[in-house]
Amino acid sequence: MTDKANTQHGLALVGVRGTGKSTVGRIIARGLCLPFVDADAELEARAGKSIRAIFEDEGEGAFRDLEEQVLADLTGGPPAVLATGGGAVLRDSNRRRLRQFGLIIWLTARPEALAARIQSNPRGVADRPALTAHGTLAEISAILEARTPIYQTIADATVDTDGRTPAEVADAVLEACQSAERRSGGSHTT
């Protein structure tokens, strides 16, 4: 369990693409009467172009720099429910800021479920760059293998999204937050 003293009492959702961070985050924010912020949407608004276009024009490194700036601003802002991009946990600086921001919940799913969700969302396919040359299912498996240890280390709690509706996942996240708070003896908004 991460030391949550002096946090700003926010709630950050982490996990790979297709776990429903934005959809679920919106539902949770409504339930908690907190603002919802989506780091990828904020980044695209600032850049004036899609993430896919940023990757194509400037490369992944430039995207990660922008992502770090956006996360620094959002985690330094008022308490909120924050949906992060799947790779937001890759930089140590981002992980530090997320920990200070509040509780971190890792959303998981089987690779097959993730691939089906990603492929059924045409906007997600059009606006997001491929992260490997492997194709959707193999890419998801490779990304999961590489990032699972990072998500495991940073998360206060894990919520499986397989076979659950977004509303059911949101309820499970809130329960996980309450248990995490009880374990840490903290007093978070969530």
Residues at the interface with ligand S3P (CB under 6 A) = 16-17, 40, 51, 85-87, 128-129, 131
Nearest distance from residue 156's CB to ligand S3P, in Å? 19
* Element at 105 (helix H, strand E): strand 102-108
Nearer to ligand S3P, 85 or 111 (CB): 85
Length in residues, the chain: 190
Nearer to ligand S3P, 139 or 181 (CB): 139
Nearest distance from residue 52's CB to ligand S3P, in Å? 7
* Element at 180 (helix H, strand E): helix 166-184
Nearest distance from residue 16's CB to ligand S3P, in Å? 6
- The closest of 5, 2, 19, 32 to 143, measured between CA atoms, is 19
- Residues 6 or more apart in contact with residue 147 via CB below 8 angstroms: 16, 86, 87, 89, 90
Nearest distance from residue 130's CB to ligand S3P, in Å? 9
Residue number of the CB closest to ligand S3P reads 85
- Residues 6 or more apart in contact with residue 36 via CB below 8 angstroms: 25, 26, 28, 29, 30, 80, 81, 83
Nearer to ligand S3P, 17 or 97 (CB): 17
Nearest distance from residue 181's CB to ligand S3P, in Å? 26
Nearer to ligand S3P, 99 or 128 (CB): 128
Give me the helix-helix angle, 39-47 and 51-58, nearest 10°: 60
Nearer to ligand S3P, 40 or 181 (CB): 40
